[in-house]
Amino acid sequence: MFEFAWPWVGLLAPLPFLLYRLLQPVSVNRQSALRIPFIDRVADASAVGVGGPGFGRSWRFWILLVGWLLLLCSAARPQWLGEPVAQNRDARDLMLAVDLSESMMEKDFELQGQLINRLDATRIVAGDFIERRKEDRVGLILFADQAYLQSPLTYDRNTVKTFLDEARVGLAGKSTAIGDAIGLAIKRFNRLESEQRVLILLTDGTNNAGALDPLAAAQLAADYGVRVYTIGVAGDGQLAGKIGTFLNRNMYLDSLVTTSIDEKTLIEIADKTGGRYFRARDIEQLAEIYAVLDQLEPISRNTAVYRPVEPLYQWPLYGALLVGLLLFAAPLGLSGRRL
């Protein structure tokens, strides 16, 4: 669709006529301060006969009028508006909080016939989950003795996945500070405006460190509109892990790490915030949990519509320039005189 961005510029169309009526003409008896040898030809090029007997019939007048209108048309910013295009904007922030306590080294998850520890299983499945969040801002919190922000909320999913891949058990201590992890997530959410705030908390133990009680943190999350999904990560194959280590002829046996997931607290945290609690006993079940989360928390978008704009001001401007050149060149060609 064609339109003028500044149509009010058209009100300037009668300006030359108003100036002619209001301004006093220059006396022809005044002595010129500067003599130009070819001034008569310049006068011929600019003469329009305004006010003279040939005012309405001068071809130069009509050409000047067309040039003036072309300049006004260019100044009014003509443009072509394209068809409306829908632009999707994400309306959700998603934070992952991953437990790095010592018990996450327990090898009770199986992948392709090999036993892997809980953190590796979490990295594999959570990494794929992050890759699918194409319209979300994703952040990463690592916690053990304390909670640390590893990646702020960002659209750069590759960076978040890299930070998750580089996470190591013991990086943040040996214990489990679930309450502090929730509190840190709330703090980061409050710095940004978002319609949906989701925290996915993965742990294999019981809160035994940190300054903030998990249930108090859950109530605070509910007050600030943060929905918490808790995942208990622990398989049932501790003994199988030790046997597998021995059969692989390693020179040592892994120390037996016992873990007891405080499922009651994790369930209450999820209930207080409107989320859900999941238990992942193997890597397939952990993958299924993320698939369920995809359905529970669909990507929410605010649809904005914009129209592409193509400026067209240059074309009437080129026409006005051509008119100016025509007015200057025409007297020289018609008179047959040379400078």
Structure confidence by residue, pLDDT tens digits, 286-295: 788 888 877 7
- Let me know if residue 31 belongs to a domain: no
Q: Is 129 in contact with 290 (CB distance < 8 Å)?
A: yes
| 24 part of a folded domain | no
Given a cut of 60, whether residue 36 has pLDDT beyond it is no
240 and 318 in a single domain? The answer is: no
Whether residue 56 sits in one domain with residue 198: no
pLDDT value for 268: 93
- Note whether residue 28 is domain-resident: no
What is the structure's pLDDT at 255?
38
Instruction: Write the single-letter amino acid at 131.
Output: E
Contact present, 82 and 310 (Cβ < 8 Å):
yes
60: left (phi over 0), alpha (psi -120 to 50) or beta: alpha
The answer to whether residue 102 scores a pLDDT higher than 70 is: yes
**What's residue 35's pLDDT?**
59
Higher pLDDT, 35 or 61: 61
Looking at the structure, do residues 291 and 314 belong to the same domain, yes or no? no
Is residue 259 predicted with pLDDT exceeding 60?
Answer: no
- Mark whether 9 and 98 lie in a shared domain: no
List pLDDT tens digits, range 108-157.
Answer: 777 777 788 888 888 888 888 888 877 778 899 999 888 999 999 888 88
Q: How far is CA 309 from CA 1, 3, 4, 7, in A?
A: 10, 10, 11, 16
What DSSP state is assigned to residue 205? S
Same structural domain, 243 and 290: yes
Q: Which of 127-141, 164-178, 182-196, 249-263 shows the lowest per-residue confidence on average (mean pLDDT)?
A: 249-263
pLDDT for position 49: 44
Q: Does 207 lie in the same domain as 77?
A: no
Same domain, residue pair 101 and 220: yes
Helix axes 39-46, 314-335, angle to 10 degrees: 130
Domain membership of residue 64 as a residue range: 2-17+38-82+308-335
167: CATH: 3.40.50.410
Does any domain span residue 168? yes
Instruction: Say whether pLDDT at 18 is over 60.
Output: yes
The pLDDT of residue 186: 92
Q: In whole angstroms, what is the distance from residue 72 CA to residue 319 CA?
A: 11
**Are 221 and 182 contacting, i.e. CB atoms less than 8 angstroms apart?**
yes
- As for how many domains the chain has, the answer is 2
For 38-90, the pLDDT digits (tens) are 555 555 555 544 444 444 446 777 888 888 888 889 888 888 887 776 655 54
Q: Is 168 in the same domain as 107? A: yes
Beta carbons of 80 and 310 less than 8 angstroms apart: yes
Nearest-angstrom CA–CA distance, 206 and 103? 11
The tokens describing 231, both together, are 């995942």
Average pLDDT of the chain?
Answer: 76
Domain membership flag for residue 25:
no
For residue 242, the model assigns a pLDDT of 43
- 326 shares a domain with 199: no
Residue 180: pLDDT above 90?
A: yes
For the segment 326-338, the average pLDDT, to the nearest whole number, is 58
- Pair 324, 290 in one domain: no
Residue 26 in any domain: the answer is no
Amino acid at 282: D
Q: Which of 68-72, 191-195, 225-229, 242-246 has the lowest mean pLDDT?
A: 242-246
Q: Return d(Cα 98, Cα 125) in angstroms, integer.
A: 12
Q: What is the rounded distance in angstroms from the CA atom of residue 9 to the CA atom of residue 221? A: 56
267 part of a folded domain = yes
The confidence score (pLDDT) of residue 304 equals: 57
> In Å, what is the CA distance from 235 to each residue of 6, 176, 241?
69, 18, 10
Are residue 219 and residue 179 in the same domain, yes or no? yes
The answer to whether residues 64 and 150 belong to one domain is: no
265 lies in some domain = yes
Q: How many CA atoms lie less than 13 Å away from 200 in the CB half-sphere?
A: 23
Q: Are 231 and 122 in contact (CB under 8 A)?
A: no
Nearest to 70 by CA among 326, 308, 307: 326
